[in-house]
Amino acid sequence: MSSTGLFVTLEGVDGCGKTTQATLLVEDFQNKGREVVRLREPGGTRISEKIRLFVLDPQYDEMCDECELLLYEAARAQLVREVVQPALERGAVVVCDRFYDSTFAYQAAARGLPANVVSMANSLGSCGLAPDLTLVFDLDPDEALERATHEATDRVEGEGTEFQRKVRNGYLKLSQDDPNRVHVVDAVGSVEVVHARVRKVLAECLGGSWS
Ligand code: TMP
């Protein structure tokens, strides 16, 4: 898949603050005159938003891990084919709140599905597309979950702190395995302080195209 754009993904445990940081990052790229497409996973297309409603709905507590995995991948494939791939081909910056690293952290590291199975599913769901840069917002799950559940508890947030701790460890493993792409950002501190850390990582990774 050829692309001239830039694909940036934001990751972390529920309540880590990545959505607020995504807004600021989008503004940064827009201020540099770039077209920016902001997305979230699961979601971003008619089909993927429908899947989101279904996969996060707490009433489906009988959902097995394999079913959950495949629903996330189905939502992802539609998003990649319908939105991400065309946006990258026309040179846009795509900022996506979660992508396939979430599937590794949640479905493999936390739920316990075998990593090789999740990896194969991710290949299919991403249609072979990999992010250029991934920021993992790292925050203690107790603090993060408190933020996340202020408004509503979805099916995944309802899993509690121990689950989120496994998710966090999954992300830390990903950053060790793929340090050139996956960058951990300390998410402790004010919105401005964390945003400054994000800008530092982008300057280091993107160099001239960022400054
Ligand atoms: P959000 O609340 O950040 O929008 O994410 C939705 C929830 O879905 C969140 O709890 C993480 C979970 N999730 C997975 O378990 N696997 C995935 O592949 C994705 C994209 C999200």
Pocket lining: 40 vs ligand 1, CB cutoff 6 Å: yes
Q: Is the pLDDT of residue 154 over 90?
A: no
Say what the pTM is: 0.94
State in words which class domain 6-205 has. Answer: alpha beta
34-59 residue pLDDT tens:
999 999 999 999 999 999 999 999 99
**CA-nearest residue, atom 13 of ligand 1:** 102
4 confidence band (pLDDT: 50, 70, 90) = confident
What's the average model confidence in pLDDT over 151-171? Answer: 86
Q: Which of 23, 41, 118 to probe ligand 1 with, by most ligand atoms within 8 A of CB?
A: 41
What's the average model confidence in pLDDT over 69-84? Answer: 98
**Residue 134 three-state SS:** strand
88-135 residue pLDDT tens:
999 999 999 999 999 999 999 999 999 999 999 999 999 999 999 999
Cross-strand partners of 6: 93
**CA-nearest residue, atom 2 of ligand 1:** 14
